[in-house]
């Protein structure tokens, strides 16, 4: 298990494996998963944070149930591109996963970070446009933000693959 850039992460994924996207907050972790073709991200749930080990075990269960081999973790970069305390907290969570491979059994997932600037705000705006009640928005915002993060990463990977194909034709 290691931390890689997104393109490297996809390159080491076994065929038909999936990625899980995470929106890591202080109280919750939103989760989303992609299809084996790395096309569409779908929200799957929210972990109510307690202790790291319990959080990681719940994540590992979700991954095992869906043949997930890679994590795309949203990195809450500041608007000016700098990293603050929230980024450090997210990076620490990832480092803790790296030093606890036994939580994942035989399959140790690879990790990549994805800039999640404004993801929760964008998702919140979309849900308001969908006329969702505040209560319902609060129930789903974390897993929807995880889907938004993962979809952004998937779209990036698709564009990178198309650019590589275009350069091969030249």
| Residue where the block lists tokens 């202790």 | 51
d(CA 25, CA 48): 10
Nearest-angstrom CA–CA distance, 128 and 164: 38
CB of 71 closer than 8 Å to CB of 22: yes
DSSP single-letter state for residue 102? G
Task: Give the mean pLDDT per block of 10 residues along the chain (170 residues).
Answer: 87 90 94 95 96 94 90 92 92 92 82 85 77 77 90 92 69
- What is the pTM assigned to this prediction? 0.86
Topology classification of domain 6-161? Nucleotidyltransferase; domain 5 (3.30.420)
pLDDT at 163: 81
pLDDT at 168: 58
Q: 28-34 and 18-24 as β-strands: parallel, antiparallel, unpaired?
A: antiparallel
pLDDT at 109: 85
Cβ count near 126 (within 10 Å): 13
Number of other CB atoms surrounding residue 48 within 10 Å: 11
* CA dist., res. 168 & res. 145, Å (int): 35
Predicted local distance difference test score (pLDDT) of residue 76: 92
| Residue for token pair 């993801």 | 119
Residues 43, 30: contact at Cβ < 8 Å? yes
């Amino acid at each position: 298990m290691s931390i890689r850039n997104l393109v490297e992460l996809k390159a080491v994924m076994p065929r038909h494996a999936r990625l899980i996207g995470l929106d890591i907050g202080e109280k919750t972790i939103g989760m989303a998963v992609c299809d084996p073709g790395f096309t569409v991200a779908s929200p799957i749930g929210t972990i109510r944070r307690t202790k790291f080990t319990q959080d990681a075990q719940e994540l590992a269960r979700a991954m095992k149930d869906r043949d997930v081999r890679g994590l795309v973790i949203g990195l809450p970069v500041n608007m000016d591109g700098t990293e603050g305390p929230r980024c450090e907290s997210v990076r620490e969570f990832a480092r803790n996963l790296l030093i606890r491979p036994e939580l994942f059994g035989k399959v140790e997932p690879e990790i990549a970070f994805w800039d999640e600037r404004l993801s929760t705000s964008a998702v919140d705006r979309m849900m308001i446009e969908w006329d969702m009640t505040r209560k319902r928005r609060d129930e789903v915002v974390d897993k929807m933000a995880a889907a938004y993060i993962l979809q952004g990463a998937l779209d990036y990977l698709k564009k990178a693959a198309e650019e590589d194909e275009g350069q091969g034709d030249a």
